[in-house]
Amino acid sequence: MREYNVILKEGIDYDGFWNDIESDTDGGNLYIPNRKVEFTNERPASLRQCWYLLTDEEAEQLKLDERVFDVEIPPEKRDDLKMVLRAVQRGDFTKTTADAGAYLNWGMNRCNFNFNNYGAGTETTSSYEYCLTGNGIDVVIQDSGLEVNHPEFQDEFGVSRVQQINWYTESGISGTQSVNHYRDYDGHGTHVASTIAGKYFGWAKKARVHSQKLAGLEGTGDSGTGISATDAFDAIKLWHRNKPIDPKTGAKRPTVVNMSWGYIHYFSSLSSLTYRGTTYTNTTATVAANRASNYGFIQNYDGTYYYANSRISSTDTDIDEMVAEGIHVIISAGNYGFKIDLIGGDDYNNSVITSGGNGGTYFYHRGSSPYSTNAIKVGNVDSTVYDSLTDQKATSSETGPGVDIYAPGTNIMGACSTTNAFTDEPYWANGSFRQMNISGTSMASPQVAGVSALILEMNPKLTPSDLKSYLQNTSNSDLYINLNNNDWTNRRNLWGGASRFLYNRFAKSQTSKISGEIELKGGIEFKVV
């Protein structure tokens, strides 16, 4: 026997199912094991999930119960998954050291003014006018950690806005947090946080910042200091659930969670595949690599394994539950240009079956992993290397109907941690203040998270659905792509996704203070005080 996460469908009698599976008999249900099944992780923050000790045969049988959504080995217990951060670009920065001190996050300017003022990557006068600061908003950076003492996260008095939470103690779940939980040996999390809430590079310059360093994302030499994704999700749910109601707003202090990471599924063999009824057999390594690439499997740089996008039911369910709690979740879509998903969703008549120990049915890629209908999934726009009239989806960015909005994510300047893993990236130091430039959907999603914090400052009662609708309804539709072309060789198209470009029209200050009520597109009213 081994640990399985049993995930139930929404709206069923949860207590009734748990009583059935933990009773001494199956109660006449053919799919429930005829014994008392022991749980190993009760998942107190989740109504729908619990870890049980099951045989592989029992797990497969339990999937047939009409109340069960999925039964899977928890992600942290699997050896065929990798957690990856969403940064891809190395060393493409066109500025000089002399420019670095005045160089800002150009994406803020682009979204603030609603036109491409970057040009061919030579713009030097980036500026951002703002009247909103994200005051009263909690931002959680689920990432590689955070350099908490970086000047980017200090207020006007030099006091850090980073609140160092012990997630186990705060949430009441069992576990011990490493003393090095906030250290950022990679540098990715510090950069992401600065786009969301940095006083120099960020949108929400007065938001309260929290770090959740995840196990698997710590960086070289720092393994074991992060917490598991399962514990992290449960801790956020319970922490937010226990927040008091603010008597001034009549709502809890809003929580925005940024996830600039995801899972990939990898495997070592691919002997043949069947695509739309035709079986292809690979006879040489070259043919195998080409065949895999043509049908959505990516071969790693040295050819030792393939990988593809992976849907993880427990992770997707955790995100759904976070959203149901009123938590605003922003997810980077990814940078691999995947064409298929390993599980879930519509197959679009594009099912792929592999052999060689990796059999299964795969599905047309929807555009994000992790995935949640109610979360906000973000792709990457590149305005920095084209003429002043075009904005294009970055070549590497995931796309498809699962991507909700696109935002600037190429050549984004942000804070750099002292222990920075991006050793081939240029960075500049001004005393203890370090900054660097990197690219990816990891850099795009914090643009959306930062703008979300500003919107929630105006109206903290907004539901995640309201926020998502507002962002989509106020976005632009001017990406340079062929919306009707689903040819996978055209890496600039959106593969059925919507052309939505982030536009924060309320960040630019018209006067020193805005008052009164402003009616936004979609019929949502915000009061700015």
Confidence label for 137 from pLDDT (cuts 50, 70 and 90): very high
Which CATH code for domain 2-73?
3.30.70
Which superfamily is assigned to 84-267+291-528 in CATH?
Peptidase S8/S53 domain (3.40.50.200)
Average pLDDT, the chain: 78
HEC profile for 104-141? CCHHHHHHHHCCCCCCCCCCCCCCCCCCCCCCCCEEEE
- Predicted confidence at residue 195, as pLDDT, reads 95
- Predicted confidence at residue 114, as pLDDT, reads 64
Taking only the tens place, the pLDDT of each residue in 152-206 is: 898 888 889 999 899 998 888 888 888 888 889 888 999 999 999 998 889 999 9
User: Which runs of E-coded beta strand occur in 93-247?
Assistant: 138-143, 208-213, 245-246
Domain positions in the chain = 2-73, 84-267+291-528
| CA dist., res. 102 & res. 200, Å (int) | 10
Residue 467 pLDDT greater than 90, yes or no: yes
- Predicted confidence at residue 357, as pLDDT, reads 42
Confidence label for 281 from pLDDT (cuts 50, 70 and 90): low
Mean of pLDDT values over 220-246: 92
Mean of pLDDT values over 50-55: 97
Confidence label for 105 from pLDDT (cuts 50, 70 and 90): confident
Give the residue from 234, 245, 253 showing the smallest Cα distance to 170. Answer: 234
Lowest-confidence region among 253-267, 404-418, 422-436, 511-525: 511-525
The H or E element that residue 318 is part of is: helix 313-324
HEC profile for 76-87? HHCCCEEEEECC
| CA dist., res. 266 & res. 157, Å (int) | 48
Residue with tokens 């999937």: 63
- Predicted confidence at residue 111, as pLDDT, reads 83
Mean of pLDDT values over 351-358: 48
3-state SS assignment for residue 236: helix
| CA dist., res. 453 & res. 447, Å (int) | 10
The residue ranking higher by pLDDT, 11 or 271, is 11
- Predicted confidence at residue 234, as pLDDT, reads 95
Half-sphere exposure of 318 (CA within 13 A, CB side): 27
Q: Which residues pair with 138 in a beta bridge?
A: 208, 255
Taking only the tens place, the pLDDT of each residue in 427-451 is: 666 566 678 888 899 999 999 999 9
Confidence label for 283 from pLDDT (cuts 50, 70 and 90): low
Residue-wise DSSP of 400-462: STT--EEEE-SSEEEE--SS-S-TTS-EEEETTEEEEEE-SHHHHHHHHHHHHHHHHHH-TT-
| CA dist., res. 366 & res. 394, Å (int) | 17
Lowest-confidence region among 4-13, 268-277, 502-511, 513-522: 513-522
Q: Which residues pair with 275 in a beta bridge?
A: 278, 352
- Both structure tokens of 455: 């919107």
Residue with tokens 């099912």: 351
- In this structure, the strands spanning 340-341 and 361-364 are antiparallel
- What proportion of the chain, given as a percentage, has pLDDT over 70? 68
Q: Within 10 Å of residue 164's Cβ, how many Cβ atoms?
A: 12
- Predicted confidence at residue 447, as pLDDT, reads 96
The answer to whether 374 and 323 are in contact (CB under 8 A) is yes
- Predicted confidence at residue 527, as pLDDT, reads 37
Highest mean pLDDT, choosing among 327-331, 354-358, 490-494: 327-331
3-state SS assignment for residue 230: helix
- Predicted confidence at residue 349, as pLDDT, reads 44
Measured between alpha carbons, how far is residue 96 from residues 102, 110, 152, 236, 418 in Å? Answer: 11, 21, 21, 41, 21
- Predicted confidence at residue 520, as pLDDT, reads 37
Is the previous residue joined to 426 through a cis bond, with omega within 30 degrees of 0?
Answer: no
Residue 79 pLDDT greater than 60, yes or no: yes
Q: Which residues pair with 246 in a beta bridge?
A: 251
| CA dist., res. 26 & res. 21, Å (int) | 7
The answer to whether 118 and 106 are in contact (CB under 8 A) is yes
- Predicted confidence at residue 112, as pLDDT, reads 76
Q: What share of the chain is helix, strand, coil (3-state, %, to 5)?
A: 20, 25, 55
Confidence label for 80 from pLDDT (cuts 50, 70 and 90): confident
| CA dist., res. 39 & res. 41, Å (int) | 6
Lowest-confidence region among 129-138, 362-371, 421-430: 421-430
| CA dist., res. 314 & res. 41, Å (int) | 13
Measured between alpha carbons, how far is residue 316 from residues 38, 241, 369 in Å? Answer: 24, 19, 8
Taking only the tens place, the pLDDT of each residue in 298-349 is: 766 666 667 777 778 999 999 999 999 999 999 999 888 776 666 554 444 4
Residue-wise DSSP of 11-61: TS-HHHHHHHHTSSS-TT-TTS-SSPPPEEE--TT-SSEEEEEE-HHHHHH
Mean of pLDDT values over 377-403: 75
Highest mean pLDDT, choosing among 77-81, 338-342, 473-477: 77-81
| CA dist., res. 184 & res. 145, Å (int) | 4
